[in-house]
A = this chain, B = another copy of it.
Amino acid sequence: MIKALRALELHELQDFTQEVKSEVLLRVKEKIPHLESSLAVAELTVALHYVLNTPEDVLIWDVGHQGYIHKALTGRIKSLDHQRTRGGISGFLNRAESPFDFFGAGHASTSISALAGVCMADAIKKHKRHRIAVVGDGSFTGGQTFEALNHLGTIDTNALVILNDNNGSIDQTIGVLHNHQNYQAYFKSLGWEYHLCEDGNDVTALVAQLQQALTLGGKRVIHVKTTRPDLSPPKSYKPGTTFQWWAAEEMSLILAAHPELQILSPAMFAGSGFAPLREKYPQQLHDTGINEPHTVTTAAGIAAAGGKAWVHIYSTFLQRAIDQVIHDIALQELPVVFLVDRAGFVGSDGPTHHGVFDQGFLLDIPNVTVWNPMNGSELQAMLRRASEIQAELIGPLFIRYPKARTSCDSSVDFMEYRILKQAHSHTLLLSSGVLSTFAEVGAMDHIHVGQVKPLPTEVKRMLGRYQTIVVLEESIGVGGLSGTVAMEIAQTDLDLKLVIRKIDDVFTEHGSRQELLKETRLIPSEKGPSY
């Protein structure tokens, strides 16, 4: 299709774009998240591949856009039938999928840094080619874009950044830069020439501007205003069915009872079912933009000033602020509560978004408390408990829950652990989180460890009663709950056999949670409801 595109006359591009859009829409039977962003850059995508000699020329997409039109143009239009399903193509750019996907991007704001790297590699090889990064206005709230513009600005090279301004990311774009449309002054202050393209859905105008900018060379930005179909409404969860829904329900009560409590989120309220809370408690919910380090340190600042700070963040994005968790919160012993959504396999978003690393990282940090509820009832009990004890915390508390179905049968009390089965077996199964409800227990005794750090004293004591301990956790790496139990056994001179069932040391592709849990043998393959 790319060859056909390049053979077209300029005046034929608009019709061509319409045809591609129609075919993509036709193929995508199920709703694709962020499809609006891709449709809004259909003309831009066509113009870029028309002007550039990709894949020899370098085209880097920042995550904000998603690349469905790009994928369609580069040999994957039929594959869109099976996008984001097990074995199908990824929802993101993916180097393994196509040479046209020069650089993957699952997390925002990285593309200009990658562009800087290409410029540096090309400089030392004296390799001449065009190099472009396309970044959305939402991604521009991430400080890495500033770091890259400021540094790349000092390098004598040709580099073009497209600011795709469709007035939003997954949610409204935050910040003065966007709100006041001060981009021109901003880019110039960092040494970049600025061009404005008012109609970014006019493919012929785009081609002209791209050609001009590439001819002029140097470091340039084209600020392209694109119009996208209406932003999808904030994600809503079917009442009474998911961890997300139960979290929002309980938080509503907690916010009402604690009018000084403030929840910050780096652009994740809309995706998590918290949008209605924002309407109801506008003074208490703050979307800080896509900027995890800033969000976490701001929460530390609130706590340092004696306020009640909570952070709402997805597990995979918490990785971006792990240093701030260590230095600004844990080391300073500040009481900040984190709601960690999307903990564990996330499903169709795949390896860039699975929440499989945070538990391992968090358990390595002193002064940290980590809770994994097994169901909606326990999640609500944990949220209530957190709101009650926050002032006593000497460090951060993380309440981690998956993007999964769950019920909330009745109100329960908070407990650090729950004995789910005790039948005098020689083997004890320790599990945590939602896996506790689906574990294959067989003849084993079974304890759900709600609090994985610190490991409850009673659980430590009970280890000695068994010959074998089986640890089951939805987490990657050599630490985590299994590492904690291994340390405990090593320190207490117990003669115990340890069996560890966790995620293998590989990146797991996309698929439904159930498929992934079966494939990684965390649940038996013949059972398990849709979660």
Interface residues of A (CB under 8 A from B): 58, 60, 95, 102-104, 106-107, 110, 113-118, 120-122, 124-125, 127, 141-151, 153-154, 174-177, 179-180, 182-183, 185-186, 188-191, 259-260, 262, 283-284, 286, 288-289, 291, 293-294, 297-307, 309, 319-320, 322-324, 326-328, 330-332, 351-352, 357, 360-361, 363-367, 476-480, 482-484, 486-487, 489-491, 493, 495, 497-500, 505-507
Across-interface contacts of A498 in B (CB, < 8 A): 486, 489-490
Are B324 and A322 within 8 A (Cβ)?
no
Contact A144 B186 (CB under 8 A): no
A154 touches B125 (CB 8 A): no
Contact A480 B482 (CB under 8 A): no
Q: Contacts of A127 on B, CB cut-off 8 Å? A: 305
Task: Determine if B117 and A300 form an interchain contact, defined as CB atoms under 8 angstroms apart.
Answer: yes
One complex includes copies of this chain to the number of 2
| Minimum Cβ distance to chain B for residue A479 (Å) | 3
B297 to A113, Cβ gap below 8 A? yes
Q: How far is the CA of A218 from the CA of B516 in the complex (A)?
A: 51
Given A366-B506, A500-B487, decide whether A291 and B151 contact each other with a Cβ distance below 8 A. yes
Which residues from B are CB-within-8-Å of A110? 293, 297, 324, 327-328
**Chain B residues with CB below 8 A from A58, complex form:** 305
Query: Are A117 and B299 interface neighbours, CB within 8 A?
Result: yes
- Could you pull out 14 A-B pairs where Cβ atoms are within 8 angstroms? A58-B305, A95-B332, A104-B327, A113-B293, A113-B298, A114-B328, A117-B298, A117-B302, A120-B307, A143-B144, A148-B298, A363-B478, A366-B505, A490-B499
Residues of B within 8 A of A185 (CB): 185-186, 188-189
Considering residues A147, A262, A364, which has the most beta carbons from chain B within 10 angstroms of its beta carbon?
A: A147
Contact A478/B364 with A113-B294, A319-B326 known, Cβ cut-off 8 Å: yes
**Nearest CB in chain B to that of A95: its residue:** B332
Give me the 8 closest cross-chain CB pairs, A-B, nearest first: A117-B301, A143-B143, A479-B479, A364-B477, A121-B307, A176-B191, A478-B483, A486-B486
Docked-complex contact A124 and B304, CB < 8 angstroms: no
CA distance A360 to B367 in the complex (A): 17
